[in-house]
A and B are shown apart, each in its own frame.
Chain A
Amino acid sequence: MRKTFELEDLDCANCAMKMENAIRGIEGVKAASVSFITQKMTVETEEGADFDAVMKKAVKLCRRIEPDCVIKL
């Protein structure tokens, strides 16, 4: 499954990169991208992975990296 989310208040490009790398590390994630420029996050999971569980982890990780940034789920 593949979904794109809009991000709010993503103010630093370096954080976007860190978020992207962190999400890629979550188990079950096939591909992920966080674009500072478009303020969007795309997450693609492997087949059979629980997408919602992955996103829960992703939100937690992102909050740790950039607490101001809100993922519009």
Chain B
Amino acid sequence: MTRKQKKSLIRILAAAALLAACLILRRFAALPWWAELIAFAVPYLISGYDVLLKAVRNIAHGQIFDENFLMSLATVGAFAVGEYPEAAAVMIFYQIGELFQSIAVGKSRKSIAALMDIKPDHANVIRNGETITVSPEEVAVGELILVKAGERIPLDGVIESGSTVLNTVALTGESAPREAQPGETVLSGSVNAGGVIRIRTTGVYADSTVAKVLELVERSSEKKARSENFITRFAKWYTPAVVAAAVLLAVVPPLLFHGEWSEWIHRALIFLVVSCPCALVVSVPLTFFCGMGGASKRGILIKGSNHMETLAKTGIAVFDKTGTLTKGSFEVSAIHANGMSRAELLDIAALAESYSDHPIARSIVRAHGGHLDPKRAGEVEELSGLGIRAVIDGKTIHAGSEKLMESLGITPFCREGCRCGSGACVHVASDEGYCGHILISDEVKPTSAGAISKLRGMGIKTVMLTGDAAPAANETAAALRIDEARSGLLPAGKVEAVEALLEESGKRKVIFAGDGINDAPVLARADAGLAMGALGSDAAIEAADIVIADDDPVKVPLAVNISKRTLRIVLQNIVFAIAVKLIVLILGALGIANMWIAVFADVGVAVLAILNAIRAMKTPNE
């Protein structure tokens, strides 16, 4: 508790004790009305003097529908109609509610702040051979900084010396530590969990990943969701309407229907207590904030609550293929040998390709995995754009494209059911003829299928867009059980495809997930664009509405899930708060509800709504 909260607690306790004493005194001794008034005014003033002061001050400033004013009016009115104990008790109760509200908001604020605690507070920069500690803002590009074990990396850079393991959980939500060697790029915000490293900075603090992420999170409350705007509009009309109703309630029945003045004024005062829209005004933005805080803990940075609303209404999820659903790296997917064993074929192909740096060549060497004896290979020649000619074990081997085979006068052939049309294919031929081929495909990420099936489980249609040819695209789509694949698309074609899907989806939203580097226009065109694995790229962070820190496609259904849950809590709070207030208004008008219930409808509901809002911070497990 803060000092202010402690002070308020002491005042509440003192006032409550005095009120109890007054009540006991009244029971045993008949006091004249003025003595009772003075006796009950003491606990009332102890608990509520600040409310009264603020009310007077705010009226001077022209703030009529201020919470303090309404509360003062209600309690002073209660004194006026002779309900002394009630007036004092209501003020105490109101202060208890305010205190709870302040504690609850403070708690949630603190826990969100803890989630976003990625700001580095210092940097150890090496200048003239001396290590000095400065603030990260003071480090220039190209300077050498020292990061000790347990410290947060303050600026983006490249490791110059020392190897370590990095904990990137605060940045990406990925809890497994990552190894980092000299020459590797490291992002600011990650924690050095291993040995001492020296980093050559590649940018200033303002351009660093951590500064970008923090700015993104800070700005996220500026873009408002429709439900937030609804609350703003609601609050504008609600208070004046309820106050007007209170005035009518106090005046009309006594004047027109010979009602008892004190009775109807009392009922009107109940209206005043319920007239503050605080429960809604606090809890709805807080729910969104907690939801976005929870998402960021999982490596999903949402740029505004409006995007959360879009995610929750997703009808079609569109994925880019390469690098999003697939790893964007190549893997050997099949080996079809002709006249030799598959191991033999892979062996000679790997030997021939071991001299090449091409990603496809490297994937074959990787698939071989074993030791490649360089003595077995003789002369090796790279045939530009076609493949490789190598002398292996004394035989001339050609490995490469179909065109290479054609130029040799060899017709490659496939077995039945071979899918050499999909993906890349390396044909191998020796002096003796065709040896077979090795099929290379981009490997699907292990979590892609799970991500797609989760989306389907939520009733979301999945679409894959790719520049690849149809056979490769259809194969991936079938393997992942994606509803629809659109292949052979150029970047402009992807935009058109998304536009067509926007048309198709109607009221439900179209979201697009891509790596954000080549897809910036598509990211911008979709209702919500998710950039995956894009923490290093400014363009992607700029173009996207949601930035997913790592490149795990499962984060897409997770983002949708978190958003749905958050929106559900928002709706619960709106319905709950409005319903309780309406019921109390009706009961109050009928003379059933007393002021105690009214205070509960005001601050009690606010506290409950805040506690409910905090639930949004918890995210579902995968």
Contact = CB atoms under 8 A, between A and B. Distances in A.
B281 A13 contact: yes
A38 to B, nearest CB: 7
A65 B218 contact: no
Nearest to B284: A13
Contact of B63 (A17, A31, A64, A68): A64
Interface string B48-67: 00000010011001110001
Interface in A1-25: 4, 9, 11-14, 17-18, 21
Contact of B235 (A9, A14, A36, A37): A14
B272 to A, nearest CB: 15
Contacts of A12: 67, 278
A35 B289 CA distance: 10
Which secondary structure dominates where chain B touches chain A? helix
Contacts of A67: 54, 57-58, 61
Contacts of B136: none
Interface in B276-320: 276-278, 281-282, 285-286, 289
Contact of B281 (A9, A14, A21): A14
A53 to B, nearest CB: 21
B411 interface: no
Contacts of A33: 221-222
Nearest to A18: B63
Contact of A38 (B54, B221, B277): B221
Contacts of B105: 36-37
Contacts, number: 56
A17 B109 contact: no
Interface residues of A, number: 22
A40 interface: yes
Interface in B98-147: 102, 105, 108-109, 112
B148 to A, nearest CB: 30
B537 interface: no
B67 A37 contact: no
A7 to B, nearest CB: 12
A67 B47 CA distance: 20
User: In the complex, which of the residues A14, A35, A67 has the most CB atoms of chain B within 10 Å of its own CB atom?
Assistant: A14
Contacts of B282: 13, 36
B235 A17 contact: yes
Given A11-B102, A17-B232, A37 B61 contact: no
B62 A64 contact: yes
A40 B289 contact: no
B170 to A, nearest CB: 18
B285 A40 contact: no
Nearest to A11: B102
A72 B281 CA distance: 24
A65 B222 contact: no
B278 A38 contact: no
B286 A14 contact: no
A69 B186 CA distance: 41
What 10 pairs across the A-B complex have the smallest Cβ distances?
A: A13-B282, A64-B61, A13-B281, A33-B222, A35-B221, A14-B281, A37-B289, A37-B286, A14-B278, A17-B281
Given A9-B4, A37-B108, A38-B221, 18 more contacts: A11-B102, A13-B281, A14-B281, A17-B232, A35-B221, A36-B281, A37-B105, A37-B221, A37-B285, A37-B289, A38-B218, A38-B289, A39-B109, A42-B222, A65-B63, A67-B54, A67-B58, A68-B54
13 contacts: A14-B67, A17-B235, A36-B282, A36-B285, A37-B108, A37-B109, A38-B109, A38-B218, A38-B289, A40-B218, A42-B219, A42-B222, A64-B63
